[in-house]
A and B are shown apart, each in its own frame.
Chain A
Amino acid sequence: MSKRDSKSGSISRRRLLATASAGAALAASPLGINLLHAQQPPIRIGMSMPQTGGLAGGGKPSLLGIEIWRDDVNAKGGLLGGRKIELVVYDDKSSASETPAIYSKLIDVDKVDLLFAPYATVPTAPIMPLVKQRGLLLIGNFSFQVNSKVGHDMWFNNAPWGPPDSWASSFLDIGQKAGGKSMALLAADQEFAQNLAKTAREVAAKRNLPVVFDQAYPPNTVEFSSIIRALKAAKPDIVYVASYPPDSAGILRAVNEIGVGDNVKLFGGGMVGLQFGTVMENLGSLLNGVVNYNSWLPEKSMYFDGTKDFFEKYTKRAIEAKVDPLGYYLAPFGYASGQLVEQAINATKSLDQKGLAKYLRENTHKTIVGPIAFSADGERKETAVLQAQFRGVVDKNIEQFRSSGKQVILFPENLKSGELVAPFEAARK
Chain B
Amino acid sequence: MKRSNIAFWVGAAVFLVAIFVMTQVVGNQYPFFAGYVILQFIALAVAWSILGGYAGYVNFGTSAFFGVGVYTAVFLTKAFEAPLLVQIVTAAVIGALMGFALGLLTLRMQGIFFSIATIALTIIIETTVMNWRFVGGAAGIQIARPPATPPFDNYVQMLFFVQALLVVLAVAISRYIQNSWIGRGLQALKDDELAAECTGVPTLRLKLLACVISGALLCAIGAPSAMYLQFANPDSAFNLNYSVSTLAMSLIGGTSHWSGPIIGAILLGTTQQLLTVTISSEVNVLVLGIMLVLFVVGAPEGIIGLVRKLRGNRKEGGT
Contact = CB atoms under 8 A, between A and B. Distances in A.
A105 B277 contact: yes
Contacts of B137: 189, 194
A128 B139 contact: no
Interface stretch (A93-101, A307-315, A335-343, A382-390): A93-101
Given A109-B30, A189-B130, A90 B142 contact: no
Contacts, number: 110
A34 interface: no
A129 B230 contact: yes
Nearest to A96: B236
Interface in B222-265: 225, 228-231, 233, 235-236, 239, 241
Interface in A16-54: 51-52
B277 A129 contact: no
B125 to A, nearest CB: 14
Contact of A96 (B127, B130, B229, B282): B229
A250 to B, nearest CB: 18
Contact of A51 (B144, B233, B281): B281
Contact of A189 (B30, B36, B131, B142): B131
B5 interface: no
Main secondary structure of the interface of B (DSSP, over half): helix
Contacts of B32: 104
A89 interface: yes
A168 interface: no
Contact of A129 (B33, B131, B145): B145
Contacts of B281: 51-52, 91
Q: Which residue, of A52, A107, A188, A198, has the highest number of chain B Cβ atoms within 10 A?
A: A52
B16 interface: no
Contacts of A128: 142, 230
Contact of A126 (B30, B131, B229, B241): B229
B65 to A, nearest CB: 16
A257 interface: no
B24 interface: no
Nearest to A121: B140
B233 A191 contact: yes
A68 to B, nearest CB: 19
B179 interface: no
Of B28, B29, B37, most A-chain CB atoms within 10 Å:
B29
Given A97-B37, A101-B33, A126 B280 contact: no
Interface string A207-244: 00000000010110000000000000000000000000
A206 interface: no
Contacts of B195: none
Interface residues of B, number: 36
Interface string A260-298: 000000000000000000000000000000000000000
A96 B231 contact: yes
B229 A97 contact: yes
B140 A122 contact: yes
Nearest to A95: B236
A98 B276 CA distance: 9
A192 B273 CA distance: 28
B86 interface: no
B138 interface: yes
A195 interface: yes
A189 B33 contact: no
B284 A52 contact: yes
B16 to A, nearest CB: 22
Nearest to B282: A52
Nearest to A92: B276
B140 A108 contact: no
Given A95-B241, A125-B140, A191-B235, A90 B131 contact: no
Contacts of B34: 101, 104-105
Contacts of A344: none
A95 B130 CA distance: 17
29 contacts: A51-B281, A52-B281, A52-B282, A90-B277, A91-B276, A91-B280, A93-B284, A93-B285, A95-B241, A96-B231, A96-B235, A97-B37, A100-B229, A101-B34, A101-B37, A104-B30, A104-B32, A108-B28, A125-B140, A125-B229, A125-B231, A126-B231, A150-B142, A189-B138, A190-B138, A191-B139, A191-B235, A193-B138, A216-B138
Interface of B: 28-30, 32-34, 36-37, 127, 130-131, 137-140, 142, 144-145, 225, 228-231, 233, 235-236, 239, 241, 273, 276-277, 280-282, 284-285
Q: List the 5 shortest-distance A-B pairs measured between CB atoms, nearest first.
A: A101-B33, A104-B33, A125-B231, A96-B236, A126-B229
